[in-house]
């Protein structure tokens, strides 16, 4: 991989440079109109990010772009961004400040191949134009490398969005693309073999837990409108994150992850352990029966506690205070999980990417010990995880930011969507039960495509 290209450069430049690049941003309130045009048509990059508490950012284009590969990719993204953000001139409200939006691949050594064409091992963009929606309305922000460029861009987009019909604010999804057929990467027999390999390594003391995943390639009957699909998913899964990262040269990665990797503001960090899954019931009593079984089951508790312990250990060296709350239940439309919220106060001035690097992958998507889990994943999974189960989100000039774990996700390409889902394997795991739990995790997106 040519790692020199594209690093820390402004869109339109042809060579990377060590000089600090300048970013200028200007914001204006949108009194009327529609924001859906931000995601319409093709653009070098299109991004959408919505948090469970309703904060939303929708953007397009790349005023600056940062890419990196290899084991030091977290540091290298941060260095490029710090250089670019250094000269930032932002005139607008705080919620509309420019941010770098993007993500990382699960594995350090990721090389983009189908269906991950265009998705580097780490890639972030500062959108050229984006919309934010705080409580007091809708704001448009334009970013450029000079004041006149930012102002012209703002004028253009403010006018274009104002002129759009307000009926378009909500995208209709009367006709999902339809499913022509599905292809699995892993047959039930192959899955049993993979789980048994993991169980042998666990029995031999080499491994305590590993999360094994599958991919499901879904051939579509018609074209998919990813933003419309995401909007539908938001109705079904309102307390999850929603994201979309799309670009011209490849597909669009999108999902509705229930799991926060980290949210950092100043010295305060929030994260969580999310592991252990049972289905929803047909009635509230059935829901509770599933939950009772999960709470009482030693295997589920062990699988979950390994994640809590690992996060505690990973955060402790960076924090002066750490609080692990009581275990709760995360109830989603199709599945229920064990969840433990965790908060920390950092021991000094740290960048959110330091926390992301320390936490990724938690044993909710990797395993314990991390190296043996990584090796088992590489030895047994017959597909490329790409950006699945990896950090996706944003950071700003101050080093604050928020990242989800890219679960319940898929990558949409020509006529097909590839979905990903996995499950934690520990001693006593049963391959057939694990298979059923993985299928539950395909459902959020699969149900919307039918
Ligand atoms: C790996 C996934 O889920 C993780 C998050 C919640 C519950 C999990 C579990 O029960 O194994 C997984 O750790 C996935 O959705 O693909």
Residues 186 and 161 in one domain: no
Pocket lining: 274 vs ligand 1, CB cutoff 6 Å: yes
Residues 126 and 258 in one domain: no
pLDDT tens digit string along 4-25?
333 444 443 333 334 445 899 9
CA distances from 33 to 161, 163, 166 (A): 6, 6, 5
Which structural domain range is residue 21 located in? 9-169
35 within a domain of the structure (yes/no): yes
Question: What is the domain-level CATH number for residue 382?
Answer: 3.60.120.10
Residues 88 and 184 in one domain: no
Query: Rounded CA gap, 344 and 328, in Å?
Result: 18
Number of independent structural domains in the chain: 2
CA angle 394, 396, 400 (to 5 degrees): 85
Of 214, 278, 327, 424, the residue with max ligand 1 atoms within 8 A of its CB, to mutate for a pocket test, comes to: 424
Per-residue model confidence (pLDDT) at position 245: 96
Tell me the mean pLDDT in the region 425-439. Answer: 95
CB 110: neighbour CB atoms within 10 A? 23
| DSSP state string for 188-203 | HHHHHHHHHHHHHHHH
Residues 388 and 328 in one domain: yes
pLDDT at 432 over 70: yes
Residues 319 and 371 in one domain: yes
User: Of 169, 195, 211, which residue sits at a domain end?
Assistant: 169
Residues 53 and 184 in one domain: no
Pocket lining: 277 vs ligand 1, CB cutoff 6 Å: yes
Sorted by sequence, the CB contacts under 8 Å of residue 34 that are 6+ apart come out as 161, 164, 165, 166, 167, 168, 169
396 within a domain of the structure (yes/no): yes
Pocket lining: 424 vs ligand 1, CB cutoff 6 Å: yes
- pTM: predicted TM-score of the whole model, two decimal places: 0.93
Residues 223 and 297 in one domain: yes
3 within a domain of the structure (yes/no): no
pLDDT tens digit string along 206-241?
999 999 999 999 999 999 999 999 999 999 999 999
Tell me the mean pLDDT in the region 31-46. Answer: 83
Residues 356 and 259 in one domain: yes
1 within a domain of the structure (yes/no): no
2 within a domain of the structure (yes/no): no
The one-character DSSP state at 373 is H
Name the percent of the chain lying above pLDDT 70.
93
Per-residue model confidence (pLDDT) at position 7: 41
User: Of 118, 134, 169, which residue sits at a domain end?
Assistant: 169
User: Of 143, 169, 195, which residue sits at a domain end?
Assistant: 169
Residues 109 and 257 in one domain: no
Q: 448 catalytic, yes or no?
A: no
ipTM of the shown complex:
0.98
Residue 419's closest CA among 213, 245, 242, 225?
A: 213
298 within a domain of the structure (yes/no): yes
- Tell which atom from ligand 1 comes closest to the C-alpha of 275: 7
98 within a domain of the structure (yes/no): yes
Per-residue model confidence (pLDDT) at position 173: 53
Please report which confidence band the pLDDT of residue 169 belongs to, taking 50, 70 and 90 as the band edges.
very low
Helix axes 298-315, 284-296, angle to 10 degrees: 70
Q: 209 catalytic, yes or no?
A: yes
Per-residue model confidence (pLDDT) at position 249: 82
7, 231, 259, 272: the active-site residue: 259
Q: What are the DSSP E strand ranges found in 51-109?
A: 56-60, 64-68, 89-91, 99-104
Residues 196 and 290 in one domain: yes
């Amino acid at each position: 991989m040519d790692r020199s290209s594209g690093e820390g450069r402004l869109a339109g430049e042809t060579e990377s440079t060590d000089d600090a690049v300048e970013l200028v941003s200007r914001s204006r309130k949108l009194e009327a109109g529609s924001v859906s045009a931000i995601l319409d048509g093709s653009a070098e990059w299109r991004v959408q990010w919505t948090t469970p508490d309703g904060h939303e950012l929708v953007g397009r284009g790349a005023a600056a772009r940062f890419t990196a590969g290899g084991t030091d990719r977290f540091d290298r993204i941060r260095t490029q961004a710090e250089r670019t953000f250094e000269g930032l001139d932002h005139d607008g409200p705080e919620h509309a400040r420019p941010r770098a939006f993007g993500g990382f691949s699960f594995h350090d050594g990721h090389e983009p191949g189908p269906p991950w064409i265009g998705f580097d091992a780490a890639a972030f963009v500062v959108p050229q134009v984006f919309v934010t929606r705080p409580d007091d309305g809708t704001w448009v922000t334009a970013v450029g490398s000079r004041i006149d460029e930012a102002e012209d861009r703002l004028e253009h987009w403010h006018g274009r969005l104002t002129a759009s019909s307000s009926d378009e604010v909500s995208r209709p999804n009367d006709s999902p693309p339809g499913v022509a057929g599905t292809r699995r990467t892993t047959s039930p027999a192959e899955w049993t073999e993979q789980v048994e390999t993991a169980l042998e390594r666990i029995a031999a003391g080499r491994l305590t837990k590993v999360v094994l995943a599958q991919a499901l390639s879904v051939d579509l009957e018609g074209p998919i409108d990813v933003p419309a699909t995401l909007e539908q998913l938001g109705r079904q899964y309102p307390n999850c994150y929603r994201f979309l990262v799309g670009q011209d040269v490849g597909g669009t990665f999108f999902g509705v992850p229930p799991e926060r990797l980290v949210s950092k503001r100043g010295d305060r960090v929030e994260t969580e352990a999310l592991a252990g899954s049972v289905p929803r019931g047909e009635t509230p009593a059935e829901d509770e029966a599933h939950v009772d079984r999960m709470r009482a089951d030693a295997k589920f508790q062990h699988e979950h506690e390994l994640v809590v312990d690992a996060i505690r250990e990973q955060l402790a060296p960076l924090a002066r205070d750490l609080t692990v709350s009581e275990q709760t239940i995360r109830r989603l439309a199709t599945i229920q999980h064990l969840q433990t919220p965790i908060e920390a106060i950092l021991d000094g001035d740290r960048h959110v990417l330091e926390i992301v690097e320390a936490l990724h992958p938690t044993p909710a998507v990797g395993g314990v010990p991390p190296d043996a889990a990584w090796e088992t994943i590489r030895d047994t999974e017959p597909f490329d995880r790409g950006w699945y189960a990896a950090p996706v989100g944003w950071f700003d000039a101050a080093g604050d930011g928020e990242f989800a774990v890219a679960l319940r996700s898929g990558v949409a390409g020509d006529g097909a969507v590839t979905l990903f889902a996995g499950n934690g394997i520990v001693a006593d795991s049963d391959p057939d039960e694990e298979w059923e739990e993985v299928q539950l995790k395909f459902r959020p997106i699969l149900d919307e495509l039918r």
